[in-house]
Homo-oligomer: A and B are copies of this chain.
């Protein structure tokens, strides 16, 4: 008999006995909890849990058990719940423009097996990164995105992403603002890397803004994309010190390292089902 692992992410109104109920159910169904992490928001009275357990059985039976768990969580506990079974992996579509480092870094992380997901395709509004993608045997789709054809371009992008059954869209320094319609139609989460310590320096040219303000530390922020630009739930942030000696070009160079690692961390957490969104904030069970 094989052994699979099931990951469940739950959240909903807190009430006594939730942990007992969840762990009791898993035990009663022959599972053994590998990791469990929970969080209570006492002000909002909300309970969050990520639980991962090993489940022996055939693939189909294990899928059935996961589905039963979801049903139990919804009906008996009143919790939102989604489950995933290893070795199922999310399918990732990447949007890029001209700046290569996040694309390059992420691609090699997927190749080295660091990311538990599958990088399916790259979409770009510029042809510049085609060569790199082809050298990596990564399907590359170029769409010209001009103001007068943006709606059509976005439709075409959505169409490819849907046909490829993409589960997660990631914006690797994609220099176009996605329309509210794209965000709604995509139907899957979208993760963006913004090159500042949000909420400071939202919008364009954040390194130039940071330089002008004279801050002593710069940052990068990975967040889910919502209709409001740079205001979605923050998943990960990191910072690095700068001084008066650093030019804008230095900030851009130092920022690249931040962008790569923060972006990779956020994408990895999402792919491992470690992130719950709630009230425009995230709970990250890392």
**Stretch from A71-79, A86-94, A140-148, A234-242 at the B interface:** A234-242
Q: Which residue of B lies closest to A14 (CB)?
A: B32
Q: Which residues from 23 to 76 on chain A have a C-beta closer than 8 Å to any C-beta of chain B?
A: 23-24, 26-27, 31-40, 42
Instruction: Check B283–A253 contact: CB distance below 8 A.
Output: no
Say yes or no for A104: interface residue by CB 8 A criterion. Answer: yes
A: number of interface residues (CB 8 Å): 63
Q: Evaluate contact between A36 and B38: CB separation under 8 angstroms.
A: yes
Determine if B253 and A234 form an interchain contact, defined as CB atoms under 8 angstroms apart: no
Residues of B within 8 A of A205 (CB): none
Q: How far is the CA of A78 from the CA of B122 in the complex (A)?
A: 53
Closest residue to A232 on the B side, CB-wise? B214
Q: Is the CB of A108 within 8 A of B101?
A: yes
Q: Which of B27, B105, B286 contacts A17 (CB 8 A)?
A: B27
Within 8 A of B (CB), among A232-265: 233-239, 241, 243-245, 247, 253, 256-257, 261, 264
* A153-161, A179-187, A193-201: which lies at the interface: A193-201
Judged by a CB distance under 8 angstroms, whether A203 is at the interface is no
* CB < 8 Å neighbour of A135 from B40, B135, B213: B135
Q: Which of B101, B216, B257, B283 contacts A244 (CB 8 A)?
A: B283
A214 surroundings in chain B (CB, below 8 A): 233-234, 279-282
Query: In the docked arrangement, what's the CA distance between A114 and B104, Å?
Result: 15
From residue A198, how far is it (CB to closest CB) to chain B in Å? 7
